[in-house]
A and B are shown apart, each in its own frame.
Chain A
Amino acid sequence: MAYDNAEQLEEFRLETRKWLEENCPPSMRTPMPDDEVVWGGRNAVFKNPESKLWLDRMGEKGWTSPEWPKEYGGGGLSRAEARVLEQELRRIKARPPLFSFGLWMFGPALLEFGNHEQKLRFIPDILKGKTRWCQGYSEPGAGSDLAGLQTRCEDKGDHYLINGQKVWTSYADKADWIFCLVRTDTSTKHEGISFILFDMKSPGVEARPIQLISGESPFCETFFTDVKVPKDQLVGRVNGGWEIAKRLLQFERSSISAGGFGGTGGSGILGPEDYAKQHIGTDESGRLTDGDLRGRITDHKMYAKAFSLTVQRQTEQAKAGQAVGHTASILKYAAAKMNQDRHELLIEALGTEGLGWEGEGFDKGAKKVTRQWLRSKGNSIEGGTSEINLNVIAKRVLGLKEHQ
């Protein structure tokens, strides 16, 4: 469906608008409470039944990822059409039908590196939210130095045998399948890594949630003991996994940073200046009475505005075909700083009101901020630490040399 002129694109807009009018359930046009986010998968939870309807309808059209090819169940839309769809969804304030590491990270990598059979097998279920994926990257001994990973993958003739441990596996306890980096050659570092897929129900897989400083447990330690994996589940070539891993990290950093971890605030969300007005107060000119805090809040707000303008600029430049190298690292670094600064300011503006943990006596919204503040500390660690991102910028963008 290639539209080569504005008139046809307008037609597509009208059709899309009509379809959305008929198919987007009313409650899916309201702001989404945290507990109604849909992650899909075999054990999908739909607190609001309309969110299942919405996912099924969008998944059927492939519009959960509108630009993916039709032959694998994607929307098959051109960039221009996808933009129209995006605008129309925004117009009716439609909720995203699906949150998914499959859509954001694994799918794009599989489309680039997988074979036809693998794409046919896995992509449609990602689009329909039938399979929930998790990412097996970090290990206890391989964090920033990811390529130092040790999880062994041995060729046993008709299958692979996997032994080892992953850590910081997001939602491993809830995921159906894992895309995993494993070592297929111990005699070399980067060139001995492969990219493999397997079912989390396979015998020998165990996921244990890790409790974080925020009190929440979105991550797991994941153990593999003699896990048998069919040979057709290795993506790309044996020992060729590092290239896929790096590409996927770019998708991960982009998906993290496009939203800036939420650090740009947004309409309806209270910012540090709102809490400061409430808990500290303003003078007769309307300025916050704590001038020092006011200045630091402004620094942050300017940073956040500059960040969203930069996302906008780089998106436009990419669309106009003007290459912008390694923007993911730049944005990931900035997003982490922004969101952490925001939460420190939120806590500071809340004063003791922001220091509650649970139970009565504290405002519900404030308690949520407290948890998010603690969670935000991970922003400069996950998906490549800020230091690693600065290394990438220094070496790949600025061309500074390795230390000899």
Chain B
Amino acid sequence: MSFILTEDQDMLRETALSFVAGELPVSHLRALRDKGANGNDPATRKKLAELGFFGVIIPDEPGAETFGLVGLGQILEAQGRTLAATPLLQTALIAASALQLGGTPAQKVEWLPKIAAGEATFALALDESAHFSPYSVSTEAERNGQGFTLNGLKKFVPDAHYADMLIVAARTFGEAGDRHGISLFLVPRGAKGVGIQALNTVDSHGAAHVSLDDVHVPASALLGPADEGADILDPVLDRAAIGLAAEMLGSAQAAFDMTLDYLNNRKQFGQLIGSFQSLQHRAAKMFVELEMTRSCVAAALGAADAGKSDVAELASLAKAKAGELVHLVSNECVQMHGGIGMTDAAEPGFYMKRARVQEALYGSASWHRDRYAKINGY
């Protein structure tokens, strides 16, 4: 594992950083929010496609080199800096990974080029309660002639309010809580029986509750082996946690930079507030946490690309550390900005609101701490 980016990955990082800084500043999210777009931003999707950001982990031809998750992580970190609402996590990472890991040759041929070109967006419909619990799937998929009939309710599905396709986790065997018996299905969002309840979320990125009411899909919609969908889901969720951790690192870094800037400009008692030791020490401690989390995210991205056996452990490490970090930094960002931090006109609030959504998705810090402990045998 290396912590040093390749030249290509480094260029990708620079491209992403300058793209989000130029085209997707926080004011862009604010404008989307103010016009009620709920994070649905076709114009940005087009630009991301032109930059090739959707195809970062998809080889041009089978076996060809890609930028890898390390490369995609740089883009996600960049978008985290400005809280940009994009389909990259759901589509370029989660769907591309799920299809590559579990897709049939026909599914790969059909969808991977469309994903890479930005022509199809996806959303992973997994959670059924307010807390991440990947095996707690009650949604039923009943075998029905040549296909399956899906019934159930999925909650707070990111991007499901606009994505073209859903990847639905449903139960073909056993009961909620069982790892065995989960199957994954590719379901067009427009399929008959799919109900979308768009949600206005605190982070202005939006999401949707998805209801499945006698939704019929053919057998060819099955993604990966029936009943053993968890074999696909587990590594995909690890990768999702790692990618989201990269995004969170970017958000935390940006909120920290903004705070530092404020400390170096705001005066009280005739002094820069950043000259007060109590604030200096809190800033220094945040910086130590930032540096440590950066190492965890880099290690996890690298391990995922290298297919190492400790990916799950590092995914939990990265997501938990990033969760604690972005929680701390977003709170301190508001606090250290004082009254300004409480206003909608300023940006600290945007970071805090987005942070809580990032923290909850794909396992909270406490969920990942529990798993980390289990992996380590206690």
Contact = CB atoms under 8 A, between A and B. Distances in A.
A298 B280 contact: no
Contacts of A403: 271, 275-277
A287 B284 contact: no
Interface in B256-311: 260, 263-264, 270-272, 274-277, 279-281, 283-285, 287-288, 291-296, 298-299
B377 interface: yes
Nearest to B292: A306
B146 interface: no
A317 B321 contact: no
Interface of B is mostly: helix
Contacts of A306: 292-293, 295-296, 317, 321
A401 B3 contact: no
Contacts of B298: 309, 313
A404 interface: yes
Interface in A265-314: 273, 276-277, 282, 285-288, 294-295, 297-299, 301-303, 305-307, 309-310, 312-313
A305 B321 CA distance: 11
Interface stretch (A94-102, A177-185, A204-212, A388-396): A388-396
A334 B288 contact: yes
Interface string A322-337: 1000000010011000
B378 A313 contact: no
A306 B323 CA distance: 14
Interface in A161-202: none
B263 A273 contact: no
Contacts of B283: 394, 398, 400
A318 to B, nearest CB: 11
Contacts, number: 127
B64 interface: no
Q: Chain A: interface residue count, which band?
A: 35 or more
B168 to A, nearest CB: 29
Interface string B93-110: 000000000000000000
Interface of B: 2-4, 260, 263-264, 270-272, 274-277, 279-281, 283-285, 287-288, 291-296, 298-299, 317, 320-321, 366, 369-370, 372-374, 376-378
Interface of A: 273, 276-277, 282, 285-288, 294-295, 297-299, 301-303, 305-307, 309-310, 312-313, 316-317, 320, 322, 330, 333-334, 387, 389-391, 393-395, 397-404
Given A298-B372, A390-B284, A398-B283, 6 more contacts: A273-B377, A295-B369, A306-B296, A389-B284, A400-B283, A401-B274
